[in-house]
Amino acid sequence: LIADMDSTIITSESLDDLAALAGLGDAVTAITKRAMAGEIDFEGALFERVGMLAGKSSRLFDQLIETATPTSGAIDLVHTMRANGAKCYLVSGGFDVITGPVAALCGFHDHHANHMHVRDDKILGTVQTPVLDRNAKAAYLAHYCKQHGIDPVDTATIGDGANDLSMFAHAGTRVAFCAREILEKEANIIIKDKDAKTD
């Protein structure tokens, strides 16, 4: 299982939440929506949004971790997959400062995300490169298939936006979770209700 994090494993977009804590919510959210819909380049949108945070206190990360809320069923999903022998990885275009705690809480085997530069307890407004983008998500899926001897047809991915398209192209089971139309078109399972109950 390769899972996206923002608005998938957790209920919100973590970078938007961080911006809101910093008093920059509306400006950053507008860029996020366009990037998720595939209207603008992910990397450019990431750099622009993080740049707005330059000079803000890195203590905002602690508040972000405290407010992150797992989506209903997310922890059960990972535990069930692991109980049945699956390897589970959280791979996000967000940031490792939040994927680490979320991965530990949910029980993922490991996590991968972008890294925001900090110095002297201040957010610098820059991101480590190369950026973890849609192609990197597909590369991690291929990497773990090779590492564990798993055929791509036996993999599952879950996500909600344009940044998940490449990993969808290589996975056997593709779950679009409350997703943008651009991703739903590539899914073979579509979940539209965050609180859907199934048997």
pLDDT in tens, 60-77: 999 999 999 999 999 999
Instruction: Tell me if 183 sits within 8 A of 165, measured CB to CB.
Output: yes
Active site residue 110: no
Question: pLDDT of 157-182, one tens digit each?
Answer: 999 999 999 999 999 999 999 999 99
Instruction: Give me the DSSP letters along the chain.
Output: -EE--TTTTBSS-HHHHHHHHTT-HHHHHHHHHHHHTTSS-HHHHHHHHHHTTTT-BTTHHHHHHHH--BPTTHHHHHHHHHHTT---EEEEEEEHHHHHHHHHHHT-SEEEEE-EEEETTEEEEEE-SS---HHHHHHHHHHHHHHHT--GGG-EEEE-SGGGHHHHTT-SEEEEES--HHHHTT-SEEE--TT----
- The set of residues, in sequence order, having a beta carbon less than 8 Å from that of 16 and lying 6+ positions away, is 25, 28, 29, 32
> Catalytic: which of 4, 16, 17, 164?
4
> Catalytic: which of 6, 16, 17, 164?
6
Distances (CA, A) of 33 to 25, 160, 161, 199: 12, 12, 9, 33
Q: Specify the pTM.
A: 0.92
Question: pLDDT of 8-63, one tens digit each?
Answer: 999 999 999 999 999 998 888 889 888 878 888 889 999 999 999 999 999 999 99
Predicted pLDDT of residue 3 = 98
Active site residue 4: yes
